[in-house]
Structure formats: C-alpha cells, structure tokens
Amino acid sequence: MFMKSMVFAFFLACAQALAQPAAGPHKSLYLYQGADRDARVLAGAKKDKEVLVYTSLNLKDSVPIAEVFEKKYGVKLTLWRASSEKVLQRAVTEARAGRFTVDAFELNGPEMEALYREGLLEEFHSPQFKNLPPAAFPKHRHYAADRFNFFTIAYNTNLVKPGEVPNSYDDLLQPRWVGRIGIEAGDTDWFASMVKWMGEAKGMAFFRKLAQMKPQLRTGHTLMSELVASGEIPLAATLYNHNAERLLVKGAPVKWKALEPTFGRPNAVAVSKRAQRPNAALLFADFMLSLEGQTLIKERNRVPASKAVDTNLNKFPYEMIDPAVILDEADKWEKLWSELFLKGQAITRDRE
C-alpha cells in the first residue's frame, strides 16, 4: 500500500485549504501604483529597518544576494533557509499558532501555491512585472516567478558519444541506456506534466517502458549532476540545466540538452499577508525581480525569469508546470510514480 511521508501529508492538508480569508492589513500598500510608489516603499523599508525572508534558495546563492540588498538599501535581510516543504511547514505552523514573523518568501512553486491556499500571501504589484513572461504568474497573482528550474537531460561527455546523445525522450528507451540513466527520485510534478502533455495512455506507456530500463534513482538534483560529472551515472533524464551549467563552466565533462517537451518549475517571490515589515517585504520582492536582482540570479548560474536578462539557459521552447494542478492531483501522481520507480516506497525530496 502506498504510504505518504508525514511532511507530504502535511503538505497536502495545506493544499486543500482552498477558502481564502479576507484581505490582510497591507493590501492597499502592496497594490499601490502611484507615481511616488517606489519612494514610499523605500522610505517605509528604511523605517522597518529589516526584513525576514523564508527561502529554499541555498545559502551559497542566497547570502550573496542578501549582501547586495543590504548594501544597496541599508535594510537588514535575515534569511531562514530550508527545503521548500520545511519552509511551508514552518510558515503554516507559525500562522496557525498566531505567530506572523515572516515578511516575504522566495520558494518553489507548488509550496508557494500551498501558502496561497492557506491564506498566508497577499496579492502585490511591482513595476518589475513588465519584464516577466506570462508564465511567471498564477491566475490569482499572489506570487511571481523570479527564477525557473528547467528539467533537461544531461550527460557525461566522456561516456556518451555525440551520436548517442538522445534527440527525444523515446531515445531513452534504446537498449544502450539500460541501467545507465539517472532519475531524481522526487520529480513527480515533471512526471505528471509529461504524461499530460503526451496524453495519459501514451504517457503512461512511455514511463512503464522507462521503468523497465532500470534507471538509477537518487534524491537531489545537485547530487545527480555531480554523479553525472563524475561518471557514476552516464546520463540523467531529469536534471536542472543550471546545475549542469555550473559544472560545465568549471570544466567538468558534462553537457545538458533540452528535449521536447521541456518543462520548467517556477520558483517565486511573495509577500506575507500579515508581514510585520510590509514595506521591506515589498522592497525585497522588487529587488529580486529587478534587473539587478535577476542579473545576480544569472551570475549564480541559475535561470532568471526576467525577459530583460539574456541567458542561454532559457533559449528553447518550454512548457511551465502548473503548481495548482500538481497540488490538486498529487495523490494520483505520487502513487503512480512510487509504483513505477520506488517499489511502492514513500517519496523523499530535497527540493529548493
């Protein structure tokens, strides 16, 4: 029988809290678009003096960004960093206990959607929205993507000859790949999106065949990229292209390739409905979406959401994973994934 982890069960409970309560105390501030908007936000943030952000962005990337923010604005940025699921759990637990300490979030899309459904986020406006693609926004507009994680294949160039590099997902089913493919063990949202894109009958047939290829399952996209670079796994089917790019620029024998369809998972910024420091929260969101903030994300070899920042990490056709659909249908896809690849065991994640 399929068993969910305690954290995932908690995650689903949050996702099912669909009724949205009344607007919070800062909605007019968050949506203000007057000519003096930026000046008012900055002045208010300086009075706030600091901002507390819950994030899943690892510290080697988030700390340098925080340092630039503090130097630019003179506002202290305190980070609490954990996996997306742990951030979600902490925020909801605090809110249900009547503690509203967090001001803003920088978080993975599905968990951000769960925060919205718990009523912990507020819709906001930023002048930086003009540089974002439509895929950066959910319909309710309570968060906006500041970066994307694109699922691509990646391979070790010492072990995979140029003529062997797959040109389609069907190429992964060739006999040469038996036991030589790596798959991240928690990528159920990619799995669900792929099956829906292919059509459920055709999609499930493909994944049943992929499971018969005896893929190697590992937890963590960073770990998977390192295993490909070291040659322990010749090819990964679900690697974030920015992880491969980081190793490539350091001289590792690894390349990535976007196949059709390439799916992206949004990571987003949002402001807390009951932030103690609302102006500083808004300033943080503005900064992360600004040209400067998006350039910092690019410099960390991640994929900025802004159309104003040029990067080779998004120069291909892509589809966006819908966090709302993933939450609504999580039980179905978790169960199917576990049966196909994990022998019915619980799914573990280390997701930013």
Tell me: the pLDDT tens digits for 11-52?
Answer: 555 444 445 557 899 999 999 999 999 999 999 999 999 999
List the alpha helices (DSSP H) in 132-275: 188-198, 200-211, 221-230, 241-249
Tell me: the pLDDT tens digits for 319-328?
Answer: 999 999 889 9
Q: Strand locations in the chain, DSSP E?
A: 50-55, 76-81, 104-108, 121-122, 144-156, 181-184, 216-218, 235-240, 254-257, 263-272, 303-304, 319-320
**Is 307 a residue whose pLDDT tops 90?**
yes
pLDDT average, residue stretch 124-134: 97
| Gap between the Cα atoms of 116 and 324, Å rounded | 10
- Name 65's Cβ contacts closer than 8 Å, sequence gap at least 6: 57, 288, 293, 296, 297, 300
Give the per-residue pLDDT at 5.
46
- Name 124's Cβ contacts closer than 8 Å, sequence gap at least 6: 30, 31, 142, 270, 271, 282, 285
Distance of CA 191 to the CA centre of its chain: 15
**Please, which pLDDT band fits residue 347 given cuts at 50, 70 and 90?**
confident
Bridge partners, residue 55, by sequence: 81, 106
pLDDT average, residue stretch 255-277: 97
Integer CA distances (angstroms), 301 to 39, 147, 190, 332, 335, in order: 31, 11, 21, 34, 34
pLDDT average, residue stretch 133-145: 96
CB atoms within 10 A of CB 240: 27
pLDDT average, residue stretch 57-72: 96
pLDDT average, residue stretch 229-236: 98
Tell me: the pLDDT tens digits for 292-301?
Answer: 999 999 999 9
User: What's the residue count for the chain?
Assistant: 352
CB atoms within 10 A of CB 215: 23
H or E segment and range at residue 8:
helix 6-15
DSSP code string of 60-118: HHHHHHHHHHHHHH--EEEEEE--HHHHHHHHHHHHHTT-----EEEEEHHHHHHHHHT
Give the per-residue pLDDT at 351.
61
pTM above 0.75, yes or no: yes
Average predicted confidence (pLDDT) for the chain: 93
pLDDT average, residue stretch 180-196: 96
**Is 167 a residue whose pLDDT tops 70?**
yes
**Please, which pLDDT band fits residue 352 given cuts at 50, 70 and 90?**
low
Give the per-residue pLDDT at 20.
52
